[in-house]
Each structure stands twice: as structure tokens, then as C-alpha cells.
């Protein structure tokens, strides 16, 4: 990422950091105050663990439900107005809410209803902020820097989660009988975020007209017509459902199994945040100027493995922190390419609306994960068993994703190959446009050339392949997955013309077509 682009993003990154910090710190503080009241009334034991799960579920639902309701309206605002304006207004709203939260804790140090209301309002603010912050990235960065930009945004986001989850409990414990002091610190942070948002560069509104109905219809049409966009949104929903289930459960695990104090209860989530930060940066760097969907199944496999191991072993504090860091690292390889994919594939004039549309279903998934955690605890599953359940769910979803989108699995294999067996250096990638029909006519020397081409660009390539190679057992499966166009060099003129017309049709539809016919040097007999 160039210095100028990094400078243009600095205001957004700082604003996002303090916003995510306050969201997580306030949510944790509200949950801990409620759990503290339960402990004073019930003591410790299985009943306390179940009641703590229910109370934590209530807190998470209060934060998540407004996100579902408000997100689509946020999409309208994000596209109808300058995304910078939406960001600045939402950060100003955060300042007001943190001031109200501080006041609530001043008059009622035990928490109560008003902090929950502030938490719900913070969710509204976050819903307004989200489509604008993600939608503005493709308008500030060129395509080849989109993955890196998302990596930076996720890095700052999860560093904020680290800070919020780790410091929220500390702030609460240090403030003692005066928890409003913790609220005052969050108020100061919100002011810093607001001031930073003022430095975000101006971008023009994406479109001049269109209300809620038009936004919904346009978003739905885009999702319906663009398969990869639809699959990216489904992947986002699946990930955040599991992340919500585990994130809520691990807080209770920290209190009931690890017996951590309020000041230390956020450590497992902090370790997760560190892992996500590292994974996000790695995913951005290893994408090499592409939106690399091959990282998604790689991250999903890592996530599944980590959850199953943690759920089976119920590790101590060291093992828990290591496991959560691994889960975070795997998550970085999921969230960065999925976010970049949605931003890239969404139509420019409806990018904010599509992101908001995606957020609605993501937040429904988060809500489902929270409710599932409470339900599983209600039927008697321990916090360790809930983690194992999440691993089984992740395994099922990973398997289904490879069935639905096997091309992502192929790209994962290519990614591993090009980072172990091969070292490729790409020259002239900018000659391949991001959109529109393109014809590639390479001078092939082996089948490996086609694989390296797939690994070098992030757009799907429709290869025109000689039928005798296409019909070979393994190559046939790969060919069907990546939707090649077979052509018979010894076929009838009608068959050849039909294949050529199909290639032309794909070009007219804006696809990337590659003539992949291997040259075989003539034998001495042929020369004679």
C-alpha cells in the first residue's frame, strides 16, 4: 500500500479502532455487571453457569437485534449521501451515547436497564457506520490494494476488540464502586474517534436517488444475478454465526472453567483478536494484489480443527489462549477475502446497500449464534461442549462449502502450490482489467501454465481446452469445476464453430477467456 493511500485511510482506521473498542468494552462491562449481580445472589456452580449464559445471551441479543433492524436503512444512507458524511455523523452519535452511558453508571453503579438501552443504541450507531466504512474502501483504494486495505481494517478492528475485551473488565475493576469512571474513559475515546473521522477524504454519493424500496430491490437483484457475491454473503453468514456462538460462550468459559477475575475474563477474546490481526495482515500480504478466495477454505479448515481440539481437551489458561489465537489466525484468512470479495463484486452505485443487505443476514446469524449458545446451555451442555458443537457445525459448513463452491478449494490448492513448490513473479498484471471481456492467448509449454494463470489473477478464467485433454478423468473434474470450453481439433466444423461461438459469448458477457491449446512439436516422421 502506497504512503498516500495509507494516509487517506488513517482517519478511517483510527475512527474504526475506537468505535470497535467502545462497542466491545461497553458490551463486556454491561455483561460483567449483570453476571456480578448473579454471583452475589447465587454463588458459583452449574446453576450459576447456566444463569450466566442466559444473562450473557440477553446482553448479546440486545446488541445484535438493532443491527438487524437498522442495517438496511444504513445502506440507503451510505449510497445516497457521501460515505464520509455518514461516518462523521455516526461517530458524533457515538460521543453522545458514551456520554449517556457514563451518566447512567454515575446514577446507578450496579448497571440496570439504562446501560442496556445505551448498548442497543450503540448497535444502531454501529449499523449506520458499517456499510459506509466497508463501502468507502474501494473508492479510496485501487483494486490491487483492496485485500491489503481490508487486512489493515481488520487488523485495527481486532486490535480494538483486544483492547475492548481486555480493558473493559480492567476499567470496571479499577473504577470499583464508581464504574462511571470507566464510562468516562470510553467517552474520551469516542471523542478521539470523532476527530479522526474528520480527516477522511470526501467521496461523492454513489447515486442521487432511490429510497428504501429501490435499495432493497437493487440489492436483491445484484445478489441474485452475481453468484460469487451471493456465495460470499453466505460464507459471511456462516462464519459470524459460529463466531458469535463461540465468542459468547468463551466469556462464560473464562469465568466458570478458568475461574478468571473480571479484569482477566477478556483474555481469551483478546488472544483471539491478536490472532485475527495477524491472520488478516498475512491474508492481505499473501493475496499479492488479488482477492484470493482460496484463503477461505484454508481458514475454514483451520477454524474447524481448532474448535474440535479445544472442545475435546478443555485446556487450561495457556492452552485456551493458544487455541483462541489459532482460531483468530484462521478467521483472518476467512474475513479478509470475503469482505474484499463482497466489496469488489457489489455494483458501485449500490455497494453500500449490498453491504448493508449482507449485514442484515450476518447479524441474523450472529443473533442465531447467541440464541443457540443460550439454548445449548439451557439443555445442559457445558461451555466446553458448546465449543465442540461449534467445531462440528464448522466441519459440516466447510464440507458443504467445498461442494457448493469447489473452485475455491482448487484455488486453495493452487495457493499452497505457488507458495511451496513454485515461486512465481507476475509482470504486467495491470494489463488484465478488473472488469469486461478479455482474451488471453498464452504460449503454453505445459499444463502447469494454466494452473499458474489461475493463481495469478483473481477473476475466473474460462479455458478453451482440447477435448482429448478435457476428457481425461481428473482433468475432466477440474474442467467441469472451472467451467472450461472443450474444443475438438479433429471434430466436425459444426463442433469447432460451436465452441468458438461459446467462447465469444463468454467474452460478450464480460468474462476472461483463455485459449489453452498445448503446442506439440512435430515428430521426425511428421517432418518427413
Question: Given 383, 418, 453, which residue is the final one in a domain?
Answer: 418
Q: Which domain holds residue 517?
A: 434-527
Cβ atoms 300, 404 nearer than 8 A: no
Cβ atoms 194, 91 nearer than 8 A: yes
For residues 438 and 394, membership in a common domain is answered with no
For residues 394 and 500, membership in a common domain is answered with no
The whole-number pLDDT of residue 394 equals: 92
Query: Which of the 8 DSSP states describes residue 522?
Result: P
For residues 414 and 438, membership in a common domain is answered with no
Return the CATH number at 239: 1.20.1250.20
Q: Which residues contact 112 (CB under 8 A, 6 or more apart)?
A: 104
Handedness of CA 209, 211, 215, 218 (dihedral sign): negative
C-alpha to C-alpha distance for 457 and 34, rounded to whole angstroms: 51
Q: Is 424 inside any structural domain?
A: no
Interior angle at CA 13, CA 11 and CA 15, nearest 5: 65
Q: Closest by alpha carbon to 303, among 235, 372, 234, 227?
A: 235
Return the CATH number at 481: 3.40.50
Q: Which helix (H) or strand (E) holds 264?
A: none
C-alpha to C-alpha distance for 509 and 434, rounded to whole angstroms: 14
Helix 267-286 vs helix 317-345: crossing angle, to nearest 10? 40
Residue 519, C-alpha cell as written in the block: 503446442
**Residue indicated by cell numbers 460483567:** 32
Interior angle at CA 86, CA 83 and CA 90, nearest 5: 145
For residues 391 and 442, membership in a common domain is answered with no
For residues 457 and 384, membership in a common domain is answered with no
For residues 237 and 352, membership in a common domain is answered with yes
- pLDDT per residue rounded down to tens, the chain (528 residues): 455 555 668 889 999 999 999 998 998 888 888 777 766 665 555 566 666 667 777 887 888 788 777 877 777 777 778 888 999 999 999 999 999 999 988 988 877 788 889 999 998 998 888 888 888 888 888 777 777 787 788 788 878 877 887 788 888 888 888 889 999 999 999 999 999 999 888 888 876 666 667 767 777 777 777 777 888 888 889 998 998 888 888 878 887 788 887 667 778 888 888 888 888 888 877 776 677 777 888 889 999 999 999 999 988 899 999 999 999 999 988 888 888 888 777 777 777 778 777 878 887 888 888 888 888 888 888 888 999 999 999 999 888 887 777 777 777 777 777 667 767 777 777 778 777 888 888 776 566 677 777 777 777 788 888 777 777 777 777 777 777 888 877 777 777 888 888 888 888 888 888 887 654 444 444 434
Query: Which residues partner with 514 through β-bridges?
Result: 440, 463
C-alpha to C-alpha distance for 237 and 358, rounded to whole angstroms: 8
Q: Which residues contact 154 (CB under 8 A, 6 or more apart)?
A: 276, 277, 280, 332, 335, 336, 339
Q: Is 478 inside any structural domain?
A: yes
C-alpha to C-alpha distance for 51 and 187, rounded to whole angstroms: 31
Q: Which helix (H) or strand (E) holds 312?
A: helix 295-313
Task: Provide the number of structural domains found in the chain.
Answer: 2
For residues 149 and 243, membership in a common domain is answered with yes
CA distances from 221 to 105, 363, 519 (A): 46, 21, 43
Burial (Cβ within 10 Å: 0-12, 13-18, ≥19) of residue 259: exposed
For residues 458 and 405, membership in a common domain is answered with no
For residues 389 and 479, membership in a common domain is answered with no
Q: What's the N-to-C CA distance of the chain in angstroms?
A: 57
Q: Is 426 inside any structural domain?
A: no
For residues 134 and 25, membership in a common domain is answered with yes
The whole-number pLDDT of residue 205 equals: 81
Question: Given 418, 447, 474, which residue is the final one in a domain?
Answer: 418
For residues 88 and 213, membership in a common domain is answered with yes
The three-class DSSP label of residue 371 is helix
The whole-number pLDDT of residue 525 equals: 42
For residues 112 and 245, membership in a common domain is answered with yes
Q: Is 143 inside any structural domain?
A: yes
Question: Given 418, 448, 470, which residue is the final one in a domain?
Answer: 418
Global pTM value = 0.68
Tell me the residue length of the chain.
Answer: 528
Amino acid at each position: 500500500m502506497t504512503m498516500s493511500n495509507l494516509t487517506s485511510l488513517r482517519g478511517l482506521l483510527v475512527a474504526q479502532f475506537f468505535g470497535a473498542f467502545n462497542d466491545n468494552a461497553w458490551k463486556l462491562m454491561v455483561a460483567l455487571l449483570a453476571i456480578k449481580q448473579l454471583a452475589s445472589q447465587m454463588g458459583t456452580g452449574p446453576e450459576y453457569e447456566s444463569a450466566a449464559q442466559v444473562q450473557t445471551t440477553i446482553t448479546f441479543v440486545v446488541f445484535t437485534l438493532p443491527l438487524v433492524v437498522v442495517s438496511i436503512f444504513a445502506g440507503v444512507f451510505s449510497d445516497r449521501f457521501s460515505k464520509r458524511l455518514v461516518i462523521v455523523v455516526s461517530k458524533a452519535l457515538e460521543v453522545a451515547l458514551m456520554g449517556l452511558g457514563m451518566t447512567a453508571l454515575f446514577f446507578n453503579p450496579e448497571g440496570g436497564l439504562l446501560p442496556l438501552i445505551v448498548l442497543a443504541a450503540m448497535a444502531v450507531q454501529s449499523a449506520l457506520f458499517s456499510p459506509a466504512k466497508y463501502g468507502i474502501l474501494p473508492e479510496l483504494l485501487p483494486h490491487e490494494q483492496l485485500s491489503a486495505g481490508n487486512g489493515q481494517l481488520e487488523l485495527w478492528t481486532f486490535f480494538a476488540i483486544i483492547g475492548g475485551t481486555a480493558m473493559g473488565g480492567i476499567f470496571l475493576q479499577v473504577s470499583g464502586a464508581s464504574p462511571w469512571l470507566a464510562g468516562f474513559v470510553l467517552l474520551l475515546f469516542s471523542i478521539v474517534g470523532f476527530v479522526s473521522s474528520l480527516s477522511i477524504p470526501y467521496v461523492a454519493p454513489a447515486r442521487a436517488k432511490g429510497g428504501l424500496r429501490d435499495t432493497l430491490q437493487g440489492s436483491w437483484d445484484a445478489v441474485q444475478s452475481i453468484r460469487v457475491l451471493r456465495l460470499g454473503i453466505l460464507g459471511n453468514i456462516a462464519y459470524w454465526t459460529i463466531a458469535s456462538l463461540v465468542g459468547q460462550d468463551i466469556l462464560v468459559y473464562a469465568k466458570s472453567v478458568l475461574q478468571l477475575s473480571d479484569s482477566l475474563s477478556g483474555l481469551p477474546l483478546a488472544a483471539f483478536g491478536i490472532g485475527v490481526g495477524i491472520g488478516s495482515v498475512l491474508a492481505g500480504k499473501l493475496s499479492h494484489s488479488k482477492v484470493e478466495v482460496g484463503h477461505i477454505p484454508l481458514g475454514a479448515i483451520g477454524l474447524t480443527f481448532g474448535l474440535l481440539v479445544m472442545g475435546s481437551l478443555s485446556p487450561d489458561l495457556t492452552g485456551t489462549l493458544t487455541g483462541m489465537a489459532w482460531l483468530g489466525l484462521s478467521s483472518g484468512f476467512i474475513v479478509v477475502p470475503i469482505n474484499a470479495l463482497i466489496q469488489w463484486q457489489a455494483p458501485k452505485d449500490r455497494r453500500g446497500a449490498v453491504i448493508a443487505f449482507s449485514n442484515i443476514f450476518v447479524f441474523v446469524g450472529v443473533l442465531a449464534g447467541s440464541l443457540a449458545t443460550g439454548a445449548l446451555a439451557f439443555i445442559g451442555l457445558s461451555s466446553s461442549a458448546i465449543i465442540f458443537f461449534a467445531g462440528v457445525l464448522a466441519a459440516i459448513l466447510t464440507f458443504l462449502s467445498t461442494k457448493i463452491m469447489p473452485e475455491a478449494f482448487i484455488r486453495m490448492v493452487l495457493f499452497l502450490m505457488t507458495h511451496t513448490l513454485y515461486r512465481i513473479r507476475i509482470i504486467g498484471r495491470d494489463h488484465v482489467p478488473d472488469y469486461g471481456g478479455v482474451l488471453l492467448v498464452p504460449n503454453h509449454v505445459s499444463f502447469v501454465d494454466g494452473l499458474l494463470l489461475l493463481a495469478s489473477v483473481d477473476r475466473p478464467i474460462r479455458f478453451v481446452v482440447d477435448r482429448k485433454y478435457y476428457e481425461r478423468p481428473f482433468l475432466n473434474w477440474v474442467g467441469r469445476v472451472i467451467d472450461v470450453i472443450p474444443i475438438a481439433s479433429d471434430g466436425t466444423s459444426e463442433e469447432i464453430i460451436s465452441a468458438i461461438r461459446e467462447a465469444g459469448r463468454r467474452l460478450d458477457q464480460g468474462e476472461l477467456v483463455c485459449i489453452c491449446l498445448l503446442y506439440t512439436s512435430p515428430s521426425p516422421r511428421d517432418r518427413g
